[in-house]
Structure 1
Amino acid sequence: MAITNPQSGTNVHEIADGIFRINTPVTLPGAAGAFSFNQYLIADDEPLLFHTGLRGLFPLVRAAVAYVLPAAGLRHIAFSHVEADECGALNDWLAAAPQAAPLCGNVAAVVSIGDLADRPPRALADGEVMALGRHRVQWLDAPHLPHAWECGFLLEQSTGTLLCGDLFTQPGDGRAALTEADILGPSEAFRQAMDYFSHSTHAGALLEKLAATRPTTLACMHGSAWRGDGAALLRELSAVLTA
């Protein structure tokens, strides 16, 4: 792990071959306590950043990206859904990376990003695969899982890494970059307190769709990334949600 900013604690860690987790610990207001924001950088011929981070975090995240590769060389700025920590710094990244374009699902492109972004988005259909070089990413529509109509995730196929956004959100500073310990228990305790899921009737089917990809690494946006039988863990989450 490399600390790229000693004041903020922003750090970079390679969690899978060519996939780097950028983590910034923060303190939430009130009694919520320690929390973290993660971005994921896929280093390849066409580098991809998943989650832009909040606008206020942009200088920290840009410096962390630059630790791995030139930030100006980014080609794809991707995210799960439209929310400040997901794509708040999108236009900052488009200014910093002249060849980059937003990358999102069709719904996000039509209802938000075609208007919000300073450059037109590259929209991916459900199941569409895009090559970055030696890495291949597949877009998976997941409306309202855990929230937002346009929500979706990326699976990096060669490493079995599911960039799973707000699923398995864990409290704490997230300094353990990659864990094989329980993340379902802490994430469920956090969900019960915050109630940020949409409670969609399709959640079970969508989680089974994700489980069918058989990921071995879950790249969570908040907290530690996780390594293990991702299909089993996604099905455990489904059982909890539908209980």
Structure 2
Amino acid sequence: MQQIKIFDNLYMFNTYNPQINLSFNQFLLLGEEPMLIHTGSFQMTEALIPILKEILGDKSLSYIFVSHFESDECGGLSLLLEHFPDAKTICSAVTARQLMGFGITKNAVSKVPEETLVLNDLSFKFITYPSEMHLWEGLLAFETTNGLLFSSDLFIRMGEVTEPIVDSSLKDEVIRIAPHQIPDPSAHKAVQGILSELSLNYIIPGHGPVLKL
């Protein structure tokens, strides 16, 4: 697992799987109320926990954002909560239902698209994300203070991450959202429209390098 400091308040944790030629990212947003974006699989979380504790120091984890119910987004949540039991899981209502139904957490906070979360030094707006494969309602997290979009499985790049930040443009990235990523034509078009209107500086994907716009 690579630990990469993207900004002073943003760390990226990257694991490359050569069998499928894909990397997996988790991110830690530091601040007065630190937030982890995705847990990774159970095995990734085992490697991540000591790294988190070293970076956090005497702080604890306040929030864990889960964009949708899938192993690389929340597979290690139960283990993570053993070490950070007061952390609140932020997710959609359907993801909260799955997490609680499997007994993974009782402390899930569900958000709906367009709802906000204002912390002491950060502010989030949540965007609809009909995540494959069942089109369950997921969420993208738009951190409005710094113009960061935590984009889950959209805007992914295959291969190993050799450059943590690469240049791109929002227009090009939105056009590249493939129909199989949101396999409902109307939802696909709607998400493209919403994302096109955002004032973004960076796209922070679940797979691949950070995209500077």
Could you tell me whether the CA contact under 8 Å between 1:81 and 1:148 is conserved in 2? no
Q: Deviations over 1:73-114 (max 9, x none)?
A: 11111111100001000111111102112110123223x122
Q: Which residue of 2 aligns with 1:109?
A: 96
Could you tell me whether the CA contact under 8 Å between 2:91 and 2:111 is conserved in 1? yes
Q: Deviations over 1:114-152 (max 9, x none)?
A: 223232201112212112321112221222368631221
| Length-normalised TM-score, structure 2 | 0.87
CA distance 1:72–1:113, shift in 2 (3 Å) = farther
Moved over 3 A (4+): 144-148, 181-185
Could you tell me whether the CA contact under 8 Å between 1:72 and 1:97 is conserved in 2? no
- Identity, % of aligned positions: 24
Residue 12 (structure 1) aligned to one of 3, 26, 37: 3
Work out the CA distance in 1 between the residues paired with 2:200 and 2:114.
15
Gaps of at least 5 residues in structure 1 are: 1-9, 229-243
CA distance 1:84–1:127, shift in 2 (3 Å) = same
**Is 2:18 the counterpart of 1:27?**
yes
Aligned residues: 209
Work out the CA distance in 1 between the residues paired with 2:135 and 2:78.
21
Could you tell me whether the CA contact under 8 Å between 1:72 and 1:98 is conserved in 2? no
Residue 78 (structure 2) aligned to one of 91, 100, 109: 91
| Length-normalised TM-score, structure 1 | 0.77
Residue 142 (structure 2) aligned to one of 152, 155, 174: 155
Q: Deviations over 1:193-235 (max 9, x none)?
A: xx8524212211112112222211000111101001xxxxxxx
Work out the CA distance in 2 between the residues paired with 1:115 and 1:96.
21
CA distance 1:196–1:175, shift in 2 (3 Å) = farther
Q: Which residue of 2 aligns with 1:75?
A: 62
